[in-house]
Amino acid sequence: MNKFAEYVIKRRWLIVTAILLITIFFGYQITNLQINSDIITSLPDDDPAAKLFKEIGTEFGGNDMGMIVLETNDIFDAEVIDHIRIITDSVRFTQGVSSVTSLTNILDIKSSEWGIEIGKLVDEYDLPTTREELDSLKAYVLSKEMYKGAIVSDNATASAILFTLLPDADNQVVAKEIKTKVEKLDIPEKLYFGGLPMMMNEINNLIISDIVRLIPIIFIVLLVILWLSFRSFRNALLPLLTAGISVIWTLGIMSVTGYELTIITNIIPVVLLAVGSAYTIHVLNSVSHTLNHDKRQAVIKALGYVTIPVILAALTTAIGFISFVFGSYLLMIKDFGIFTAAGTLIALLLSLTFVPAFIFVFSNKNSNKNEVDNEEKKTFLTHRILLPLSRLLFKHPKYTLGAWILLLLIFIIGIFQLETSVNMADYFKRDNPTRVAEEMMQEKFGGSLPIFVVFKGDMQSPEVLQMMIKTENFLKDDPNVSVAQSVADLIEQMNDAMGEGRRIPDDKAKIEQLWFLLEGQEVMPQLVNDDLTKGVIQSKFASVDSKDIEAFTEKMNRFMAENNNANCQIELTGMPSVYVKLNSSLINSQYNSLLIAIIMVVLIVGAILQSFLKGIYAAIPVIATIVVLFGFMGVTGIPLDIATVLVASIALGIGIDYAIHVITGFNHYLTENGDAEKSIESVILSSGKAIVINVFSVSAGFLVLLFSQIVPLQNFGLLVAISMFGSGFGALTLLPIILILVNRKRKITANNHQHLNLKK
Amino acid sequence: MKTNFRTAVLTVLIGAGTVCSAVAQDATTILQKMDEVMYSQKDMTGKNKIILIDKAGKQEIREATIQQKGTDKRMFRFTAPASQAGIAFLSLPGDVMYMYLPAFGRERRIASSAKNQNFAGTDFSYEDMESVPFSQKYTPKLIKTETDAFVLELTPKVRSDFSKVTVSIHKEHFYPILMEYYDRGGNKVKEAKYTFKKIGNYWNPAEIEMTDLKKGHTTKMQMTDVKYDTGLSDDAFTVRALVQ
């Protein structure tokens, strides 16, 4: 260990220069980093429902469905209809748009005694203008299931303009262009923008503005707290500098390896700023504790003391992050795990090389002053808070333990209230226009969550088409499904227009000829594939409640199992199906990643400290913290979602550090003086200070996320802060009590042995 | 000097005006000549092969017989593939159209309120299939003269899906070579390439290749066995003839 420290000091210039050059390189690479807020690309390919959803979305253009809703007193007004036409046109002539459907261009199949008309509901070049024409159009539209609740709301106060995007289009760019273009039209009616492309565009904007606003704030908050703690500008800046460098390297590596920033990976900078500073804080703390007039010897001695606990701390934190790779469903959470772990190890590397080298390069002259500072600081935090704390612990260890157990029992009750949420609209604050739009679309147009029922078979066979109709009727029985559309509907309408009734013909030849008339209609590629072997029922689900979605999926699965056969295979996919998977995966991945993390941490800590028991002791305050965390979420109603699912493992990764510092410190002092109680006191005074500073700086860093505009990130920040307090407090009270009680027992047994030996 | 200068300016202005009007005259004449080449025959019969080519290059072939009298009576009857054989469309003056589906054994009058819709899965719209002279629908402007073609820019006289159409017309024979359609967003969305052959006294569009640039879908219409002015009777263009 000393050799390493000497090497670092010897090669200090090389180290500082190399690190700065690498930082410049990665900093430049960050400019190429892309932002991707598309949650669909993050769905795993090994899940059949998600894979099907991605395929169907690409093939039938439905998962990139956007929606503009126009709201006014009465849609059936000449001016309003003209506005709908103008918006429809403006969307249609936007690059990247595949199709647009609205009141002014939707397909209509009319039949009368004299014949059949396959055309548009209204002639866009001759819109209805007289009251009479408008009233008759209104009556017609509201009488047809194809339109009511789909493009015009039941009470005719709102009308939807639906659009799909080309598979190779950049969703966010197109969504943004559409929104800008339509807003520029200055339509007097109230407009809402919704659907996944719009939501993702909005989230994207929020991510960027969050990053730009919050990161400087976090930086300043951390700087202030570190300065208050160390009263030294160098010691306040250096932890942030190393954390900042590790952020730059990590994002640079992401960029070089072709990864994108997502709604989850965009919190990597925040997490690394908070986490990555810890190692440097410990190194600096150790250096200033090592009183030695020879700077070189002080640094070497300090590194000797601190290297192992710091490596352990970083390794366990990294394991907390890596556990996401094994436990989670969404690819973006896996990416988050990998890169935050990488960033943590980078921060570790920097704290052990860059920091000592930097100290040597830049601060030879004022080393004496530092020592004076250190003497002063000792009295502040340590003697007012930490010393009384440790005294209290010795007096009443059993009471303190009892208090902890009572607290945990209360929170365990809270855990049973824990809920999950996967609804994208919940990511926005209540007053966010996108959320308002989503809620109104849910109310008036059956939501914006696409459902696809996929049929594989001969799409022109009577059997398959009849099954589609049967399925549609079954779908519409669900209170949350109001609209469903398929090619079977069109064939029924055509058959009716031919004078043979509203049903699927039994003769395939008839179907083929009706089909011939529909060919080339804009809507067809959204309903069947080119070689007519696959078709979809496009529908929407109105509820985002996990229970509704689960009940619906279960019911559909039963229906499909009953009706599947060799000629007609039915599969269900869509956002609700994905949400069900996502929802169950939240609990599963939480369970898996926590279990993996706890086992790994216990094993690693146990192995390095050469005692399995110590591994378990280290885990106790952290497990207690996790109980507090979930209990708190249950009580306050903060749901488990794609961001808050990360908290427990992060809390475990960071929280275990505190325990490790306490245990290694305890060992160190115990071998020095042999007295357990004195050792605890020394640990609380030395490591305790670093822990308290770390808890405050990390929590403050994460609490800045309360100002985020994305709700899960706000919750995430709050929960990490609570976890930090929990595990810091646990490491300084619960863990010492356990160590005291265990050592007392050991002492008593040891004494008994002595007595026995004496008697002999 | 001053007077001379004014005269010179006036001369140039008047000259330019004359040239301009001559050019405008020219554009109108050129377009009228093209209409004449395309629509002057009394009647026509022939076979039509329709080749649909999708984005991936996959082809689908349909065949039909076509009979036309004047510019407003037309019978279009599919002969292949088997599932579509017998499907027929009869167009009569005044936008009246009947359709016959053999599987149903009955005709229906069919109205297409929007002529901008594609005809039976091809890239041709109902409007493209009509024989309405271009000079009725568009105002032409000569934008360029190439070695073997005039290039006109056509602006629709009535509201249309297109903001403009540019057409290259053969200098000597006045048949169209290339038409390019631009949507109201100013993007080129459709393209038609023409191959004309002389049959008897008339130039015949032996092949029209229409490409929908947005969908990447192409339709080729090839004419064979074309006969002109055989004296088709009006009886060939009745509902009875449609049902056979």
Of A39, A65, A61, A66, which is closest to residue A50 (Cα–Cα)? A39
Domain-located, residue A444: no
Domain-located, residue A612: yes
Q: Count of CB atoms within 10 A of residue A556's CB?
A: 21
Q: Do A516 and B84 touch (CB under 8 A)?
A: yes
Number of domains into which chain A is organized: 3
Q: Are residues A702 and A633 in the same domain?
A: yes
A118 phi and psi, to 5 degrees? -105, 110
Kind of pairing, strands A115-120 and B106-111? parallel
Residue A471 CA to residue A572 CA, distance in Å, equals 11
pLDDT reported for residue A409: 92
Of B22, B6, B32, B15, which is closest to residue B140 (Cα–Cα)? B32
To which residue do tokens 């819109």 refer?
A127
3-state secondary structure of A621: helix
Residue A318 CA to residue A250 CA, distance in Å, equals 13
Q: Does the beta carbon of B82 lie under 8 angstroms from any beta carbon of chain A? A: no
pLDDT reported for residue B17: 46
Q: Are residues A479 and A551 in the same domain?
A: yes
CA atoms within 13 A on the CB side of A219: 16
More confident residue, A438 or B112: A438
Highest averaged pLDDT of the listed ranges A106-115, A123-132, A616-625, B167-176? B167-176
In this prediction, residue B4 has a pLDDT band, given cuts at 50, 70 and 90, of: low
Q: Are residues A553 and A587 in the same domain?
A: no
Amino acid code (one letter) for A474: F
In this prediction, residue A756 has a pLDDT band, given cuts at 50, 70 and 90, of: low
Q: Are residues A291 and A179 in the same domain?
A: no
Q: Does the beta carbon of B114 lie under 8 angstroms from any beta carbon of chain A? A: yes
Residue A18 CA to residue A13 CA, distance in Å, equals 8
Residue A362 token pair: 């830049």
Between B98, B111, B187, which is nearest A117 by CB?
Answer: B111
Residue A262 CA to residue A28 CA, distance in Å, equals 20
Q: Does the beta carbon of A533 lie under 8 angstroms from any beta carbon of chain B? A: no
The alpha-helical segments, DSSP class H, found in A482-611 are 487-497, 508-518, 546-563, 575-608
Are the C-beta atoms of A91 and A178 separated by less than 8 Å?
yes
pLDDT digits (tens, 9 = 90+) for A572-590: 888 888 888 778 777 887 8
Residue B13 has pLDDT above 70, yes or no: no
Amino acid code (one letter) for A591: Y
Q: Give the CATH number, domain containing residue B122.
A: 2.50.20.10
Residue A695 CA to residue A730 CA, distance in Å, equals 12
Q: What is the CA radius of gyration of chain B?
A: 21
Of A547, A639, A654, A653, which is closest to residue A586 (Cα–Cα)? A639
Q: Do B114 and A521 touch (CB under 8 A)?
A: no
Of B222, B217, B223, which is closest to residue B123 (Cα–Cα)? B217
Domain-located, residue A318: yes
Domain-located, residue B5: no
The answer to whether the Cα torsion of A165, A171, A176, A177 is positive or negative is: negative
Between B99, B120, B184, which is nearest A520 by CB?
Answer: B120
Q: What is the mean pLDDT of residues A281-306?
A: 76
The residue out of A180, A201, A222 marking a domain boundary is A201
pLDDT digits (tens, 9 = 90+) for A500-539: 888 999 999 999 999 988 887 778 888 998 888 999 998 8
pLDDT digits (tens, 9 = 90+) for A213-237: 888 898 888 888 888 877 788 888 8
A8 phi and psi, to 5 degrees? -60, -40
Q: Are residues A478 and A596 in the same domain?
A: no
Q: Are residues A17 and A117 in the same domain?
A: no
Contact partners, residue B120, CB within 8 Å, separation at least 6: A516, A517, A519, A520
Domain-located, residue A467: yes
Domain-located, residue A56: no
DSSP string, A94-121: STTEEEEE-TTT-EEEEE-SSEEEEEES
> How many residues appear in chain A?
760
Domain-located, residue B200: yes
Least confident piece of the model among A296-310, A701-715, B169-183? A296-310
Domain-located, residue A10: yes
DSSP string, B83-105: GGTT-EEEEETTTEEEEEETTTT
Q: Are residues A369 and A253 in the same domain?
A: yes
What residue in B sits closest to A124 (Cα-Cα)? B114
What residue in A sits closest to B116 (Cα-Cα)? A119
Q: Are residues A610 and A689 in the same domain?
A: yes
Q: Which residues pair with B180 in a beta bridge?
A: B166, B191
DSSP label of A430: T
A192 phi and psi, to 5 degrees? -125, 145
Q: Are residues A506 and A641 in the same domain?
A: no
3-state secondary structure of B47: strand
Domain-located, residue A414: yes
- The torsion of the CA quartet A698, A32, A20, A236, rounded to 10 degrees, works out to -20
pLDDT reported for residue A757: 57
3-state secondary structure of A226: helix
Q: Which residues pair with B219 in a beta bridge?
A: B52, B210
What residue in B sits closest to A524 (Cα-Cα)? B121
Q: Give the CATH number, domain containing residue A141.
A: 3.30.70.1320
Please, what is the angle between helix A711-729 and helix A647-673, to 10°?
20
In this prediction, residue A598 has a pLDDT band, given cuts at 50, 70 and 90, of: confident
Q: Which residues of B touch A117 (CB under 8 A)?
A: 110-113
Are the C-beta atoms of A493 and A446 separated by less than 8 Å?
no
Number of domains into which chain B is organized: 1
**Cα–Cα distance list, A61 to A96, A299, A538, A588, B236 (Å):** 12, 63, 11, 31, 45
pLDDT digits (tens, 9 = 90+) for A6-35: 888 788 888 889 999 999 999 999 888 887
Q: Do B103 and A509 touch (CB under 8 A)?
A: yes
Q: How far is A525 from chain B (nearest CA, A)?
A: 11
CA atoms within 13 A on the CB side of B131: 22
Q: Do B99 and A510 touch (CB under 8 A)?
A: no
Q: Does the beta carbon of B105 lie under 8 angstroms from any beta carbon of chain A? A: no
Domain-located, residue B189: yes
3-state secondary structure of A314: helix
Q: Which domain holds residue A107?
A: 64-201
Q: Which residues pair with B220 in a beta bridge?
A: B51, B209
pLDDT digits (tens, 9 = 90+) for A670-698: 888 778 778 888 888 877 877 888 888 88
Q: Which residues of B touch A516 (CB under 8 A)?
A: 83-84, 87, 120-121
Domain-located, residue B171: yes
Q: Does the beta carbon of B84 lie under 8 angstroms from any beta carbon of chain A? A: yes
Q: Which domain holds residue B110?
A: 42-243
Mean pLDDT of chain A: 84
Report the largest interatomic distance among the alpha carbons of chain A, rounded to a whole angstrom.
120
Kind of pairing, strands A34-35 and A260-261? parallel
What residue in B sits closest to A512 (Cα-Cα)? B83
